[in-house]
C-alpha cells in the first residue's frame, strides 16, 4: 500500500516522531486550525506536516519576533568588555596562557626604589641642617660686638698673661747693695754691665752684694751670675731671704782663662727659692770656707723651675 492510496490510518503506518512537528491539537480536529493548518481527511496521504521552525520562532500565547542579530562591528547591548568586569584587567589579552604573558613587575624592585627615595630625602634633610648650623654660627659671630679703643683699656678687658710670660728681673752688679769691702770698678775690660762697671773686692771675708727683686709669683727660679776669675775655680755663699743655702754657687774657670788673667768673662747659675712676690733678697757673700777671688758684672733670673 502506498501513501497515495492509503485508505486507512493505521498505527503501523504512523510516523513515530510525528508528535514532534504535528500541531498540538491532534490530527483532523479543530485544534489543527490553531496552527493555521487543515484537518486531515481519512484516506488522504500525509503531505501537510507542519513546517520545521527554528529554535525561538515558535510562539506561545502571543506573537514573538526572532532575536535581532547585531550588525557586524556594532557592539551588542549586552556585551561588556573583559577589562570592565571585576578582575578583567588581569586577564590575558591574547589566547596565550597566562604564564606566557608579560611577567608582572617584581615587588623587590619596588621595595628597592622606595628605599632609595627615602635615602635621598634623608640626605637632603642632613645637608639642610648642616647648612643652617653654619649660617647660625656665622650670624652669632656677626652679632658679637668688637671692643672699641675706649673699651679695650678697661681693667677687665686687659689680658692677664701667664706668669712665665712676664719679664723677670735683671740688674747690673754695680746697682747691688755692697758691704764688707765690696766696691765697684772699671779697670778690667769685657764687663757686660752698663759702662763696663763691675763689683770688685769680693775676696775679703764678709764682703757681700745684695740683690732686692720682685717676681710674678713665689717659687723656685734659676738665677744667673756673670763673673770672671784669674784662671782658678772660685765660689760664694748664697743667702735667700735671710736663709743661707748649704751649697755655694760654683764660679769655675769655665772660660779657660790663664792663671792670673782676668780678661775672660763667663756665667754660672744656682737655684733660688723665693717665698714672696716682692721684696725678695738674694745675697752673694764671701764666708768662711769660700774661695772668693771673683769679680761680678751682672745678675738675673731666667725662668721658674
How do the domains of the chain map onto residue ranges?
Answer: 3-34, 167-304
Residue-wise pLDDT for 5-47, tens only, equals 554 555 555 566 666 655 554 444 444 444 444 555 555 555 5
Single pTM value for the model: 0.49
Alpha-carbon distance of 258 to 254, in angstroms, equals: 11
Give Cβ neighbours of residue 61 (< 8 Å, ≥ 6 apart). Answer: none
Q: Alpha carbon of 266 to those of 35, 114, 130, 225, 258: distances in Å?
A: 160, 84, 63, 9, 14
Query: Sorting pLDDT into bands at 50, 70 and 90, what band is 160?
Result: very low
Alpha-carbon distance of 163 to 254, in angstroms, equals: 32
What integer pLDDT is reported at residue 29 of this predicted model? 43
Residue-wise pLDDT for 48-102, tens only, equals 445 556 665 555 555 555 555 555 555 555 555 555 555 555 554 545 554 555 5
Give Cβ neighbours of residue 252 (< 8 Å, ≥ 6 apart). Answer: 229, 233, 234, 268
Residue-wise pLDDT for 224-260, tens only, equals 999 999 999 999 999 999 999 999 999 999 999 999 9
Query: What are φ and ψ of residue 120, in 5° steps?
Result: -60, -40
Alpha-carbon distance of 186 to 21, in angstroms, equals: 169
Residue-wise pLDDT for 190-223, tens only, equals 999 999 999 999 999 999 999 999 999 999 999 9
Query: Sorting pLDDT into bands at 50, 70 and 90, what band is 1?
Result: very low
Alpha-carbon distance of 9 to 6, in angstroms, equals: 7
Q: Was domain 167-304 assigned CATH 2.60.40.680?
A: no
Determine the distance from the C-alpha atom of residue 38 to the mean position of all C-alpha atoms in its chain, rounded to a whole number: 108
Q: Retrieve residue 13's grid coordinates.
A: 503506518
Annotate 74-92 with DSSP letters as a single string: SPPTT---GGGSTTGGGS-
Amino acid at each position: 500500500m502506498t501513501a497515495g492510496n492509503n485508505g486507512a490510518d493505521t498505527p503501523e503506518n504512523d510516523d513515530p516522531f510525528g508528535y514532534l512537528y504535528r500541531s498540538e491539537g491532534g490530527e483532523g480536529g479543530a485544534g489543527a486550525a490553531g496552527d493555521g493548518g487543515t484537518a486531515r481527511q481519512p484516506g488522504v496521504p500525509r503531505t501537510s506536516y507542519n513546517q520545521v521552525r527554528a529554535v525561538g520562532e515558535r510562539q506561545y500565547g502571543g506573537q514573538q519576533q526572532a532575536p535581532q542579530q547585531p550588525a557586524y562591528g556594532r557592539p551588542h547591548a549586552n556585551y561588556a568588555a573583559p577589562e570592565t568586569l571585576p578582575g578583567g584587567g588581569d586577564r590575558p589579552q591574547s589566547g596565550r596562557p597566562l604564564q606566557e604573558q608579560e611577567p608582572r613587575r617584581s615587588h623587590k624592585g619596588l621595595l628597592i626604589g622606595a628605599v632609595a627615595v627615602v635615602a635621598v630625602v634623608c640626605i637632603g634633610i642632613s645637608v639642610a641642617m648642616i647648612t643652617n648650623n653654619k649660617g647660625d654660627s656665622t650670624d652669632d659671630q656677626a652679632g658679637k660686638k668688637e671692643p672699641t679703643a675706649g673699651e679695650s683699656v678697661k681693667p677687665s678687658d686687659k689680658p692677664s698673661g701667664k706668669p712665665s710670660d712676664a719679664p723677670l728681673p735683671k740688674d747690673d752688679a754695680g746697682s747691688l747693695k755692697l758691704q764688707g769691702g765690696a766696691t765697684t770698678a772699671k779697670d778690667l775690660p769685657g764687663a757686660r754691665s752698663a759702662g763696663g762697671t763691675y763689683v770688685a773686692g769680693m775676696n775679703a771675708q764678709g764682703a757681700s752684694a745684695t740683690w732686692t727683686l720682685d717676681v710674678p709669683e713665689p717659687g723656685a727660679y734659676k738665677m744667673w751670675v756673670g763673673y770672671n776669675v784669674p784662671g782658678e775655680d772660685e765660689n760664694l755663699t748664697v743667702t735667700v731671704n735671710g736663709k743661707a743655702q748649704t751649697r755655694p754657687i760654683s764660679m769655675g774657670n769655665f772660660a779657660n782663662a790663664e792663671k792670673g788673667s782676668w780678661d775672660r768673662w763667663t756665667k754660672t747659675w744656682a737655684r733660688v727659692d723665693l717665698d714672696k712676690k716682692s721684696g725678695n733678697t738674694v745675697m752673694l757673700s764671701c764666708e768662711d770656707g769660700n774661695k772668693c777671688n771673683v769679680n761680678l758684672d751682672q745678675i738675673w733670673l731666667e725662668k721658674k723651675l
